[in-house]
């Protein structure tokens, strides 16, 4: 990959990545997709190769991140209401990556409780 591009986001499928790329293109932001064709040919290897990477030119990275954060889908509770951050009260909440701190959760990750992370202040709760 060219040093003048940075990965903005990673997607499991190319369809999701193309939607965001289309929005960035409409805003005249230089972007490209990596591993798109490989995953399109065999979607089961998406996790193995790290998904489809949406890369943005470094000159446009700040603007692209702002647009991406505006259009991405954030978590809601069971009733469909926004989840608020416990620290900054933001509603830009995502599912936090699994911690897998002990061998039990490494073997049985589905037993680990889902945690959330605030996209603004990065608080995990």
The CATH number of the domain holding residue 60 is: 3.30.70
Q: In terms of residue numbers, what domain contains 67? A: 5-71
Same domain (yes/no): 61, 109 = no
Name the domain count of the chain: 2
Same domain (yes/no): 80, 43 = no
Same domain (yes/no): 45, 90 = no
Q: Which residues pair with 31 in a beta bridge?
A: 56
Q: Which residues pair with 118 in a beta bridge?
A: 93
- Each of the 125 residues of the chain gets a pLDDT tens digit; together they read 568 999 999 998 899 999 999 999 999 999 999 999 999 999 888 878 889 999 999 999 999 999 998 898 888 888 888 899 999 999 989 888 777 777 887 778 778 788 888 988 989 88
Q: Work out the angle at residue 13's Cα, subtended by the Cα atoms of residues 122 and 119, and round it to the nearest 5 degrees.
A: 10
Q: Distance between CA 45 and CA 47 in Å, rounded?
A: 6
């Amino acid at each position: 990959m060219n040093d003048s591009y940075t990965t903005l986001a990673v997607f499991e499928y190319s369809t999701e990545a193309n939607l965001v790329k289309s929005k960035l293109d409409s805003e005249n932001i230089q972007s490209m997709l990596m591993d798109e064709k490989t995953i399109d040919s065999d979607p089961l290897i998406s996790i193995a190769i790290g998904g489809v990477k949406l890369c943005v030119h470094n000159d446009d990275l700040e603007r692209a991140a702002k647009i991406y954060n505006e259009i991405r889908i954030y978590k809601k509770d069971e009733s469909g209401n926004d989840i608020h951050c416990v620290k900054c009260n933001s509603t830009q909440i995502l599912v936090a990556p699994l911690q897998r701190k002990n061998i039990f959760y490494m073997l049985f990750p589905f037993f680990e409780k889902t945690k959330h992370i605030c996209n603004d202040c990065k608080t995990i709760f």
